[in-house]
Amino acid sequence: MDFNQKFEPKGNNVIHGAGQSPEQFKKYWEAVENYKPLIYMAYNRLNEVREKLLRKLKELQVIDGNLWLQLGLNLKPKGEKEKCKEITEGKYDEEILFLVKSLGEFKNPVFLRLGYECNDPTHSYNSKYFIMAWKYIVNIFRKNNISNVAFVWSVCTAFSRDITELMKYYPGDEYVDWFADDLFGVRHFTEKNNPKIITEAFCNEAEKHKKPLMIGESSPAKIGVDKGEESWNMWFKPYFEWIKEHPVIKAFCYINWNWGVDWNQPEWGNCRIEENDYVRKRFVKELSRECYINHEETKKNKQKLNKEIYEDQEEVHDKIYDFIRSTLPKEVTEAYLWGSVVERKFGKYDKKFGFHDGSDIDVIIMIPKEKIPSSWKYLNTEKEWWSLYRGGSIGINGTIHLVDLLVVKEGKEEDTRNRIKEKNWKVERIK
């Protein structure tokens, strides 16, 4: 089931996300072994973006520069009523523009849950002004040509008993990229015939409006992980079965909290995956299924095993070599073509990896930092000896291939040369 919406994975694939504090995300990150989440969850109030947003983005990047962001943006200042009408009157334009600039510079995909759980009665959102504020904010993003943000209409169906009343908060197809539902109590995805539960009806609405559905928040409320196999069978097993039964679901996000310690809600119990080994192992086994889109590096390594190798390797090599050489600025002191092009194993994946199916072209670059061209796009990814930039793309056999530039950090040039020799990497010096 495909709707061709922004950042929507093809087929029955489901993006894996987690949160929702840096400390607990890191523990979850380690607990799930090789199947790490691609999405990092964070929250901010609109009136506090200038004070807190950059810190939250930095926390994400410290963990890993390839992570995508799922940001819940609260339109209600703490302790006050929602400010949707004031937003439409321009009273929060400075905050919105700061948000636009910060997320635009982040580069990686962002799922923005504007006014998440808008149907929560404690938020007291007026549906008319909520929709007006939503459109007002989205139009500012569009005016500034921000392309890395998907707008997610996020509700919690547990707060509503009537799907028609809930849909009064919907901003409209042209202003929404994804639907989202926050799911905690197990009955909301097991009691399918209960007329008081509208989870299934909401899934049907997502499909009707041709929008992929994200589980924006989820945690085994009032069950937790402490009972091991019993916990798994009571909540996790039906949760993942429910995802499998609904191809409209294209992402899920798990809150890895002990609700009595991490939040003032002890009755919800301990839901930290790493604190019960039975649950953790079953969780890891579930994430190993092919349908889940885990962290980019894990997914990349898995998918590279299924690649169509082009037949005309020498011709392909020469075309790429000439292209890279012709685009290098004069300030580059050394450049090495690296990987499958040099090994004559270049090709394309048999299905999309991320949002393209062409194998990447890797080039090791040595250039003074102040001379890096502005046309090279920094990808928020660094290792000990290099920083990653996007250096354009080239078409080969009708497929677009991206050029990844591993720019060697200043002072690491000799270390890089030694690394190439010691590890016997197959490289080809271009300059």
Provide the CATH number for the domain around residue 373.
3.30.460
Note whether 5 and 248 are within 8 A (CB). Answer: no
Q: Domain of 350?
A: 307-429
The residues, ordered by sequence, that sit 6+ positions from 328 with a Cβ below 8 Å of its Cβ are 335, 365, 430, 431
**Residue 339 predicted with pLDDT over 90:** no
Question: Is the domain of 238 the same as that of 96?
Answer: yes
Residue at 7 is within a domain: no
Residue at 73 is within a domain: yes
* Domain CATH number, residue 145: 3.20.20.80
Residue that is written with structure tokens 């392309």 in the block: 147
Residue at 3 is within a domain: no
In the chain, the number of structural domains is 2
**Residue 114 predicted with pLDDT over 90:** yes
Using alpha carbons, select from 424, 421, 396, 419 the residue that is nearest to residue 406.
419
Element (H, E) at 243: helix 237-245
Q: Read off the tokens for 424.
A: 């016997």
Using alpha carbons, select from 29, 201, 39, 180 the residue that is nearest to residue 115.
180
Q: Read off the tokens for 278.
A: 């039975």
Question: Is the domain of 225 the same as that of 291?
Answer: yes
Residue at 398 is within a domain: yes
Task: Look at residues 244, 279, 303 and tell me which one is the last residue of a structural domain.
Answer: 303
Query: What is the spatial distance between Cα 38 and Cα 36, in angstroms, rounded to a whole number?
Result: 7
Residue count (the chain):
431
Question: Is the domain of 291 the same as that of 311?
Answer: no
Query: What is the spatial distance between Cα 366 and Cα 18, in angstroms, rounded to a whole number?
Result: 36
Question: Is the domain of 338 the same as that of 386?
Answer: yes
pLDDT, tens digit (0-9, with 9 covering 90-100), for 39-55: 999 999 999 999 999 99
Question: Is the domain of 241 the same as that of 343?
Answer: no
pLDDT, tens digit (0-9, with 9 covering 90-100), for 126-168: 999 999 999 999 999 999 989 899 999 999 999 999 999 999 9
Rounded mean pLDDT of the chain?
90
Task: Look at residues 303, 324, 351 and tell me which one is the last residue of a structural domain.
Answer: 303
Task: Look at residues 284, 303, 322 and tell me which one is the last residue of a structural domain.
Answer: 303
Confidence (pLDDT) at 391: 85
What's the sign of the alpha-carbon dihedral 236, 238, 243, 244? positive
Question: Is the domain of 65 the same as that of 166?
Answer: yes
Q: Is 264 exposed, middle or buried (0-12, 13-18, 19+ CB in 10 A)?
A: exposed
Render 185-224 in DSSP notation, one character per residue.
Answer: SGGGGT-TT-TT--HHHHHHHHHHTT--EEEEEE--TTT-
Residue at 383 is within a domain: yes
Query: What is the spatial distance between Cα 5 and Cα 251, in angstroms, rounded to a whole number?
Result: 13
Residue at 187 is within a domain: yes
CA distances from 303 to 10, 348, 352 (A): 14, 10, 9
At residue 135, φ and ψ (nearest 5 deg) are -65, -40
Question: Is the domain of 254 the same as that of 110?
Answer: yes
Output the pTM of the full model.
0.71
β partners of residue 178? 152
Question: Is the domain of 148 the same as that of 192?
Answer: yes
Question: Is the domain of 219 the same as that of 251?
Answer: yes
Residue at 2 is within a domain: no
Question: Is the domain of 187 the same as that of 334?
Answer: no
Question: Is the domain of 246 the same as that of 134?
Answer: yes
Residue at 6 is within a domain: no
Note whether 391 and 376 are within 8 A (CB). Answer: yes
Residue that is written with structure tokens 């302790």 in the block: 79
The residues, ordered by sequence, that sit 6+ positions from 349 with a Cβ below 8 Å of its Cβ are 303, 304, 306, 307, 308, 357, 358, 359
Question: Is the domain of 107 the same as that of 138?
Answer: yes
pLDDT, tens digit (0-9, with 9 covering 90-100), for 376-429: 887 756 677 888 888 888 888 878 888 989 999 999 999 999 988 887 888 999
